[in-house]
Structure 1
Amino acid sequence: MFDEIATAVVDRGGTVRHWSRTAEVLVGLTAAEVCGQPIGDLLVDVSAFAAPDVEEPPLPRAGWAALRQRSGGAIEVAFQAVPLPDSSLLVLACPVHSVVDWEQGAALLRALLAQDLIGIGIHGTDLAVVRTNITPQAFGGPGLPIGSRLAEVMSARDAAETEATLRQVLDSGVPLVGHEQRMRSPQVPERHWNFSLSALRLEDATGHPSGVAVLLTDATAAERARREMELRYQASVRIGASLDIEHTAQELVDVLVPAFADLASVDLAEAVLVGDEPPKIVGGGDLHMRRVAVASATGPWPAPLVQPGEPNPPYPDHPVLRDYQHGQAVIGGRADYIEAFGTPEILRQVIPEHGHSAIAVALFARGLLLGSVDLWRTDRRAPFDRQDADLLTEIASRAALSVDNARRYTREHRAAVALQQRLLPPADTDTPAADTAGMYLPAGGGAEVSGDWYDVIPLPSLRAAFVVGDVIGHGLAATATMGRLRAAIQTLADLELDPVELLAHLDDLVARLAAEAGPDEQDAIGATCLYALYDPVTGRCVVASAGHPPPVVVPPDGPPRVLEELSPGPPLGVGGMPFEATTIDLAPGTVLALYTDGLVERADHDAEAGLRDLSDRLAAHCRPGRPLGEIGHAVVARAGAPTPRDDVALLLARTRVLPPHATAAWEFPADPAVIAEAREVTRRQLDAWGLGDLAFATELVVSELVTNAVRYAGGPVGLRLIHDHVLVCEVTDPSSTQPRLRRARWADEGGRGLFIIAQLTARWGSRYDQSGKTIWTEQSLPAAGTA
């Protein structure tokens, strides 16, 4: 600064007597050239100094003037004239721009040091404080005394970090702008500050570092607002992504810890966990709450506290408890909890070891108190305040809606699953035709319920129908449609229709269901179905498909094969195209695998690869003698990992074939004389089977059926007896006339045949094929040991 000040001595006559080296540099004239000359010769304009009645203009004591330079130019200076004892003047001059810089710099520094919104600190090269405006009132913390070091007012870690930052500015000369700096003070341990720090190096006139100037603005409130905004954002994107109640509660505590608290727990009413509405309980006692989610910032959940899955202890009645039950956020410390609960046993379960500040907020949604979220601070010293409570209340209210949505979904899903389970047959069945096992795996690990189904329908003559189907869509609508289709298939199967005719009737039914639906739902009603009719007497299986994947056949002594020769028809409800049946012979012990497409779906949509994978799984697990349930679970378990995107239904049937000695068949011409022969062969066969007790009734049944066939249908007439857990009698004729049971009057000479048959048998019926009809009866066998 002083190097820029030029000096000159001017006598009372205005002649220059002394000219400094700085003055020589300023105007480019040496002392020899200037000394002895009038000062006015150096001025560009002397009129400003002239008085009207004075020949020589006096020199003002201070002002601005323009000095001539050797180069011909001029330089504007500010000057000050100081009288000397000998009446001469000491003139001090400096370029105007330098003076302006000095004045503005001084004014700026005074203004900065005088305000209290921006902290100013000037540090020397040793980083000790040289000048500052930071007082204890500035930011509500410790002041910054002159001569102090940062370690005297900040924690050692924060001070070391800040001094390292300032030292880097001092060494490099690169300014630092907007650096986020955290400050914790030993003098105020329960608080911390966040500052926005800017720093620049100070240099002397020679350009050497002389210190660091630091500007601080308190960003604590802004940082808190930023953290709260981030917490709100995390809560909005992470909570409620699942419709699982416990998972939603866990998402809530995971958002709050460690960002907001050190410990967090969620307690929910036990009724909520099963989808029901919570009881309306006010006051103390057993509130029927259960802990469902916890989170800890410092490690495992503390052992003395209530653990996940455990019920909350009964709480004593207290005004604070009632405030919470009415939706108020409760803020308290350790002493408040001790005063409220009192009992040592309860205190050990609700207060963590180093917990000093807590918030409890109720989870309210749609007027229901679902539970509560409780937070504790143990390691961080700052207690919870009202602003924290407001933030937690906002987050908890949104989380409560997610929990309630999950609760309502749980209730609806439970009802849908119960409905579907009641619509499905027993998982395992054991019939003369086959040993079966069925598996059902809902999509999304149970998150959705659909219309996939399987069925095993016992039919007359020891036959069985195996069914598997898949309704379009998910939810209760698909489940209801599935129930209607299953009931229709059972009804049609009882009519003993062949698979092709049965699917045709079912196709008409689905078309009617679509027509009954609204315009927006018609395209969403449809299904695929596979129907297999198996006869254990012949070992023959007739299969027809309505847009359904083909079954997999696993012989007892060979590799699995997909029934590729099966020609699938259109899905149910399309209409306009016929269905075709495929007949295959199955050896005893053959496993027939019927499934829905969810079992073979792959991410790459390669159905053939999915079928190969299913065949490989069946080959690996399907061994003779192994229970079908174990095989099915092994196959479906692999399909369920990861969680399937579509429902999976699987029906396994291990076929049986009746031994040859369990059946006997005859054929007769249409001659009344054969009736006695039919009775005779029947009696001999029953004696051979040890069923002589059934001979009278069976002979009468055979007599009536053969007589009707001979009289009304013509020949040939077939008779077959099947011996298993029941006695089956079948009479076949070439007529397609429907036999009907009617009541004969007392004077009628006929019309009592079917009535007699109905009285002598457990059940009877008829079925038709291309060559005619078969009338069958079933008789229960006498229990062992009875006469």
Structure 2
Amino acid sequence: MDALADTFPDAAAVPVAAVDGRGTVTLWSPLAQRLLGYPADEIVGRPASGLLAAPLPASARTSLTRAARWSGVVPARHRDGTTVRIPVRACPGPDGDGGVGWLVLTAARDAPAAAPEEEIRPDGAAPLKEWAYLQSPIATSVYDSELRLVSVNDEMLGVAGHPEAEMLGMRLADIHPGPPFDAFGRMMAEAMRTGKPIRTDAFFRAPGEVRERAWASFFTPLKDPAGQVRGLALAALDHTEEYRARQRLALVNEAGARIGTTLDVARTAQELAEVTAGPFADFVAVDLFDSVLHGESEDGQADGPAGPSAALRRVAARTALDERPGADTGPAEAHRCPPHSPPARALASGRPSLHSGDDPGIRAWLSDTSAVPAAVRERGVGSVLAVPLSARGTTLGVAVFVRATGAYDADDLLLASEIAARAGACVDNARRYAQERTAALTLQRSLLPSRLPDQGAVEVTSRYLPADAQAGIGGDWFDVIPLSGARVALVVGDVVGRGLQASAVMGRLRAAVRTLADLDLPPDELLTHLDDLVIQLAQGQGTKPAATVRETGATCLYVVYDPVTRRCAMARAGHPAPVVVLPDGAARSVHVPSGPPLGLGGLPFEAFETELPEGSLLALYTDGLVEGRDHGTGPGTVRLREALTDPPESLERICDDVLDTLLPDRNARPADDVALLLARTRALGGDRVRDWSLPADRATVADARKHASEQLTAWGLEELGFTTELVVSELVTNAIRHAHAPIRLRLIRDHASLICEVSDASSTSPRMRRARIFDEGGRGLLLVAQLTERWGTRFTAEGKTIWAEQPLAPVG
């Protein structure tokens, strides 16, 4: 007995019986008699199977076949006819006849007799447990302490793809070499070592299957009553449908988050390809109608889908078959789908079109090298799904999804339709936005000066950059307005809002500024009138006064420069102050008092006046130049002053340097419109300006004509003598007759015109009228208007000035 105990060294187990290789009982101990009631002479020599109340478990039968150790609970038949369940262990050993016998042990040497229980019937607990294991829909297998297979149920047999006898005694990695089973083997060893269950999810193709399935695998250590790990159970649950449903839902969510992040048609198509290539398709192509890319409406598209012969353009293509997935460049030119190809069928029907790889139309379509890249054709095409991209009853293009292996099913078709519907709506939004943006940009550019006017007061250049597509077109504008007396007005403004509304308001304000500038109003008065106009525009649109600035307001900077006096007057309404660069190269912001934005009303504007040396540089700009996505205007203004310090001679070069400094990424549109106007001042010296004080006497008219004639001779402008003398005579005569002294005559020779000015102390403005036949007067201003290019009146603090301009060269 001690030798047998050494074969199975367990202090808690004692021998009960021994069975030889033929299944005959050869040893029956007193403990066995106490447990089952049979004396030794009734049992020894008889088959051991007669003591069993039910068949042995499959694991026990397997162990007996392989001569391996086994432990478990055995239902035995008591001598009195009842059934008792005895925890036993079976240890293989020699039976003395050259065969393999079994030593059967019970749990403890002093274990009491097992309590009898009712006789097990066919519907008893033990068979039910066995049947539940064998017939469970969850694939289950049992491994011993050495991780060798000892039992499998029917579901696991179907998954494993091998007969049970062939797999018994083998490790999992030997049954199924390679991934993911090699990783499963490591998890099984970890569970045996730690005694803690492990769960893992994997997506793989079971042996003998074509389609991959999702499995939830559970590695559960099996412990004896003492808590010691004796084996391991592996259970694998097929949750492919749930997994695919979650994957489809995740893909739909990702498509909703990633498709349509911009209002750019081409970028939206690229996002569709990026989201679906890999998780849903091995190759994705997006073809759109050429007109959609230009923000136009496709002819004949409003009432239904386009025909299969419509011209398309490849906008996005992406493959997931290469080691490094990336975008493939499609054909640059427009193309037409071959008849019966997947895109043509989808466009013809207006519905998704599903095809298998052996469809004749697929082979013809693949022959077109521009349709599918070589990597896809080499691996073969298993299934193709073409889905029209449409929105609001308009077909915009088609998306094509290709799988090299496997086939699309009805669920995939629904998924593709859902994603395509999302993408179609985003493409349509981008197309419609492009239409509005194009219209707004066209309107805005038409309202901005196509070229800056020719004048001699300043040298000017400008830049205008519209905002990016996401922000939308704004209402920034600039202007250069020639004024009387060789002066010039410089204007920069910014309208609140985006789109067509902002462009329209900008055009009205620019026209209003030009009209008010013709009145030669001081900058502060001009802004006051402009403020009233903005309020009236808002009231005409039904905007409440409190919301005027927020909805229809604007900012503006108005500057007037006089090259004769070199005086510069300016006022601003909520707009950034200009930057001036003196001839020594120092740049500084001009501290113009900041008035309220236009449209607020009730608050005054204050003018600021300074003298600028000849060659000074003025920089007028909108806040889009100095305001960034992550900072206000302060840091940008500092950088602007730094960029303007010690500027080069060329104004064009200065503009480029400023934009490169403040907008380094010139390929990307700014977040807000940018307007920049640079002006370098000029001066008209004494050799180009002459003035005379005249007494209020009729006899002085002849002196005035003489002064003008002599000066024209000195300037070499004798050909203008007759006209100039007549103009001077009429203007001086009017001043003497209708105004007050002092009276002054001034001639200015500009770079392109001769300006005649007569000033007096009266604030009464003359008006031109039609004289009747017998009237002796009333024809003076009519003659002036006919003989000069333009004329007008401007009011000063001392009175008024009537002026008239003649071109130095003949008009036309």
TM class by smaller structure: 0.7 to 0.9
2:521 corresponds to: 497
Compare 768-777 and 343-352 and name the one that shifted more.
343-352
Q: Choose the corresponding residue for 1:161, options 152, 160, 183.
A: 183
Q: Choose the corresponding residue for 1:315, options 298, 314, 337.
A: 337
Is the CA contact 1:291–1:306 (under 8 Å) kept in the aligned structure 2?
no
Counterpart Cα distance in 2 of 1:144 and 1:187? 13
Counterpart Cα distance in 1 of 2:283 and 2:661? 43
Unaligned 5+ segments in structure 2 are: 1-9, 18-27, 41-77, 85-111
Compare 760-769 and 178-187 and name the one that shifted more.
178-187
Distance 1:472 1:675, change over 3 A: same
2:770 corresponds to: 743
1:53 corresponds to: none
1:136-164 deviation digits (Å, cap 9, x = unpaired): 9946x735533325457646222212222
Distance 1:415 1:602, change over 3 A: closer
Deviation at 1:263, TM superposition (A): 2.0
Is the CA contact 1:713–1:733 (under 8 Å) kept in the aligned structure 2?
yes
Counterpart Cα distance in 1 of 2:81 and 2:759? 141
Matched, 1:291 2:314: yes
1:541 corresponds to: 568
2:393 corresponds to: 367
Q: CA RMSD in A?
A: 3.6
2:473 corresponds to: 449
What is the aligned length?
A: 710
Is the CA contact 2:263–2:469 (under 8 Å) kept in the aligned structure 1?
no
Q: How does 1:243-642 map to 2 (within 5 A)?
A: 243-279=263-299, 280=301, 282-285=306-309, 287-299=310-322, 307-308=329-330, 310-318=332-340, 320-325=342-347, 326-336=349-359, 337-341=361-365, 352-356=377-381, 357-378=383-404, 381-426=405-450, 428=452, 430-444=454-468, 447-519=471-543, 522=548, 524-564=551-591, 566-602=592-628, 607-619=633-645, 621=647, 623=649, 627-638=653-664
Distance 1:610 1:252, change over 3 A: same
Deviation at 1:127, TM superposition (A): 4.0
Counterpart Cα distance in 2 of 1:245 and 1:155? 49
Counterpart Cα distance in 1 of 2:161 and 2:541? 76
1:45 corresponds to: none
Deviation at 1:772, TM superposition (A): 0.9
Counterpart Cα distance in 2 of 1:385 and 1:651? 62
1:20 corresponds to: 30
Could you tell me the TM-score, scaled by structure 1's length?
A: 0.82
AA matched with 1:434: V
Q: Choose the corresponding residue for 1:181, options 186, 202, 208.
A: 202
Q: Choose the corresponding residue for 1:113, options 118, 128, 134.
A: 134
Q: How does 1:693-772 map to 2 (within 5 A)?
A: 693-723=719-749, 724-772=751-799
1:76 corresponds to: none
Compare 664-673 and 327-336 and name the one that shifted more.
327-336
Could you tell me the TM-score, scaled by structure 2's length?
A: 0.80
Counterpart Cα distance in 1 of 2:576 and 2:116? 97
1:555-596 deviation digits (Å, cap 9, x = unpaired): 1223111111x2222222222222221111122221111122
2:708 corresponds to: 682
SS, match of residue 534 in structure 1: strand
Distance 1:408 1:768, change over 3 A: same
Counterpart Cα distance in 1 of 2:116 and 2:35? 15
AA matched with 2:378: E
Deviation at 1:121, TM superposition (A): 1.4
SS, match of residue 318 in structure 1: coil
Unaligned 5+ segments in structure 1 are: 8-17, 32-58, 66-91
Is the CA contact 1:276–1:411 (under 8 Å) kept in the aligned structure 2?
yes
Distance 1:143 1:345, change over 3 A: same
Counterpart Cα distance in 2 of 1:221 and 1:625? 69
1:63 corresponds to: 82
SS, match of residue 484 in structure 2: coil
Counterpart Cα distance in 2 of 1:494 and 1:770? 18
Deviation at 1:731, TM superposition (A): 0.9
Deviation at 1:401, TM superposition (A): 0.7
1:48 corresponds to: none
SS, match of residue 764 in structure 1: strand
Is the CA contact 1:546–1:568 (under 8 Å) kept in the aligned structure 2?
yes
Distance 1:343 1:263, change over 3 A: closer
Is the CA contact 1:181–1:196 (under 8 Å) kept in the aligned structure 2?
yes
Percent identity, aligned pairs only? 41
Deviation at 1:241, TM superposition (A): 2.2
Distance 1:559 1:752, change over 3 A: same
Counterpart Cα distance in 2 of 1:653 and 1:95? 111
1:183-231 deviation digits (Å, cap 9, x = unpaired): 324533x322221112323467898765432222112222111211111
Is the CA contact 2:693–2:745 (under 8 Å) kept in the aligned structure 1?
yes
Is the CA contact 1:553–1:561 (under 8 Å) kept in the aligned structure 2?
yes
Deviation at 1:625, TM superposition (A): 6.3
SS, match of residue 725 in structure 2: helix
Distance 1:628 1:198, change over 3 A: closer
Deviation at 1:633, TM superposition (A): 3.4
Counterpart Cα distance in 1 of 2:226 and 2:663? 81
1:248-307 deviation digits (Å, cap 9, x = unpaired): 11221111122222222211111111211224475444x32112222232449999x972
Deviation at 1:487, TM superposition (A): 0.9
Is the CA contact 1:135–1:143 (under 8 Å) kept in the aligned structure 2?
no
SS, match of residue 728 in structure 1: strand
Counterpart Cα distance in 1 of 2:736 and 2:391? 77
Q: Choose the corresponding residue for 1:231, options 251, 254, 257.
A: 251
Compare 753-762 and 354-363 and name the one that shifted more.
354-363
Deviation at 1:441, TM superposition (A): 3.0
Counterpart Cα distance in 2 of 1:329 and 1:585? 73
Counterpart Cα distance in 2 of 1:446 and 1:215? 53
Is the CA contact 1:320–1:340 (under 8 Å) kept in the aligned structure 2?
no
Deviation at 1:376, TM superposition (A): 2.2
Deviation at 1:729, TM superposition (A): 0.8
Counterpart Cα distance in 1 of 2:342 and 2:623? 57
SS, match of residue 62 in structure 1: coil
Counterpart Cα distance in 2 of 1:464 and 1:309? 53
Is the CA contact 1:439–1:632 (under 8 Å) kept in the aligned structure 2?
no
SS, match of residue 679 in structure 1: helix
SS, match of residue 414 in structure 2: helix
